[in-house]
Amino acid sequence: MALPRIVITLGDPAGIGPEVVLKALASPRVKKCCHAIVVGDKRLFAAKKGVFSLPATMVDVPVAGIARIRPGTLSAAAGEAAFQWVCAAVKMIAAGDADALVTAPLSKEALHRAGRRYPGHTELLAALTQSKNIAMMMVAGTVRSVMMTRHAPLKEVAGLLSVKEIVTTTRLSCAFLQQHACLKNPRVALCALNPHAGEGGLIGSEETTIIIPAVRALRAAGIAATGPVPADTAWRHARQGAYDLVVTMYHDQTMIPLKIIAPEKIVNITVGLPFVRTSPGHGTAFDIAGKNCADPRSMIEAMVTAARLSRCRKT
């Protein structure tokens, strides 16, 4: 069987994206599992004065101002570069020239400076593919979690939750796991929003008015859903293998446990796109950009995960 073709974007060129991409491409694990295609501007590597070698397979997408971009410095030019590379990669997949996408981190602020008003990769990819329902699934090995709310202030989370959204997101995530992770009937834990699962309404009402009805609706649809489960209990049982997916109500309910369990293995997966998309579970790290000290392990996991998910779909 031919290796899956994974197209990789360099992210914000002022961040650690180019560095971790090239370090990851040197990994035997990556070489063994996929055919990697890098999308970026070749001049970026020429500017590095030999620190990085040009990727073996690269699609050159020149962008204006690449020579003026400096490591660790926010700029509209860098934001536009990251945007253009993602657009080019999506077109490649649509044309049948690649099977999955891995994105190095971009800067939301740089993206906005370039006039590209997207909160991040997830929303940009949804717009480019006209995907109406999307979700952010974070994975560390066999431990998986999907967030009901992403980058929302904590004080607004309760108001953003609804039975419909929880059911839609959970069903979307389970369909993804069935199609791409070869799980026939994923076991799902829905986290409570409030401490002690609300104590029967004494510590908040969201469990009784939103989460329990959502669990009932999911079970009626044939999904093995349990909840509301206090988040600390849900994560302990998930790590022990009792659940295939933990559905959390807000960002940190996912990210804090994962960064304790396996920070170097965290991979971000966008659920709901017409193709597999992964990215490392870290940001642009402007503070260490250009110093050749970035850890590529999360990027390696992102590439290996994209390849594995693509293979499962093909079989």
- The predicted model scores a pTM of 0.91
- Per-residue pLDDT at 51: 47
**CA nearest neighbour of 88 among 9, 165, 195, 205:** 9
What's the pLDDT tens digit per position in 141-163? Answer: 889 999 999 889 999 999 999 99
C-alpha to C-alpha distance for 112 and 52, rounded to whole angstroms: 28
Report, as ranges of residue numbers, the positions in the chain whose pLDDT lies below 70: 1, 47-54, 313-315
Mention the CATH class of domain 134-270.
alpha beta
CATH code of domain 1-131+273-315: 3.40.718.10
- Per-residue pLDDT at 52: 57
Compute CA distances 35 → 25, 133, 303, 304, whole Å: 10, 29, 10, 11
The CATH 3.40.718.10 domain(s) of the chain lie at 1-131+273-315, 134-270
CA dihedral (137, 139, 145, 147) in degrees, to 10, reads -40
What's the pLDDT tens digit per position in 186-244? Answer: 999 999 999 999 998 899 999 999 999 999 999 999 999 999 999 999 999 999 999 99
